[in-house]
Structure 1
Amino acid sequence: MTSIKNMPRFDAADYLDSPEARADYMAAAFEEGDVAQIRRALGTVARSLGMTAVAEDAGLGRESLYKALGETGNPEFVTVLKLMKAMGLKLSALPITAE
């Protein structure tokens, strides 16, 4: 019997291997509307691409990126826009429809 301690840790970043997968992942986080979840999703997508590369492409320091996306982070909107662009993603607006 395999112990849960010996099971590999699941990391969504390991599966975000295409622009479409990264876009879908971020779209799901935005759909939820939870700020903490959006911050975590940004971090997951950044890790999938490599934090150093994303930080450089966004014009941010690596440590600043980790701080902004950490559990107590609160990235400014301009930082979110820079990160999205560096990750090959863009924000768009859709009308709210009755479900």
Structure 2
Amino acid sequence: MAKIATTAFDSADYLNSAEAIAAYLGEYLEDGTPQELRDALATVARSHGVSDLARRSGVSRPGIYKALGQDGNPSFETVRSILAAMGLRLTVEPAEQTPQLV
């Protein structure tokens, strides 16, 4: 039986529009853990090129790698700066079922 040649899948290869990135990150914001969201942000950063993203965001290249690395814990400001450099922003909207506020 002949072997089938495959290539590794990298979602960064498909994150080529603001809409695709927003949908990708939106899923992690909805259902992911903080670590999964950090990893998703790292994937998006790779799709944009970390050096270019650092220049546009004002966060240093090593700072992006540290914040989005395996042990990273990015601050809200770092996440906001990275998203803004990609032409994205965080928004808040009501959940499906809104709890009663007192």
Contact 1:29 1:37 (C-alpha < 8 Å) held by counterparts: yes
Question: Which residue number corresponds to residue 24 of structure 2?
Answer: 25
CA distance in 2 between partners of 1:42 and 1:68 (Å): 10
CA distance in 2 between partners of 1:34 and 1:88 (Å): 24
Question: Could you tell me the TM-score, scaled by structure 1's length?
Answer: 0.89
Question: Which residue number corresponds to residue 87 of structure 1?
Answer: 86
> What are the equivalent positions in structure 2 for 1:12-91 lying under 5 Å apart?
12-91=11-90
CA distance in 2 between partners of 1:45 and 1:62 (Å): 14
Aligned residue-pair number: 96
CA distance in 2 between partners of 1:11 and 1:88 (Å): 22
Letter of the 1:61 counterpart: S
Letter of the 2:26 counterpart: A
Cα deviation for residue 55 of structure 1 reads 1.0
Letter of the 2:30 counterpart: E
CA distance in 2 between partners of 1:15 and 1:56 (Å): 22
SS at match of 2:9: coil
Cα deviation for residue 42 of structure 1 reads 0.8
Task: Please identify which structure carries the higher helix content.
Answer: 1
Give the unaligned 5+ runs of structure 1. Answer: none
CA RMSD of aligned residues (A): 1.3
Letter of the 2:28 counterpart: A
Question: Which residue number corresponds to residue 3 of structure 2?
Answer: 2
Cα deviation for residue 2 of structure 1 reads 2.7
4+ aligned runs moved over 4 Å, structure 1: none
Aligned residues with identical type, % of pairs = 44
CA distance in 2 between partners of 1:68 and 1:53 (Å): 16
Cα deviation for residue 18 of structure 1 reads 1.0
Give the unaligned 5+ runs of structure 2. Answer: 98-102
Cα deviation for residue 87 of structure 1 reads 1.2
Letter of the 1:2 counterpart: K
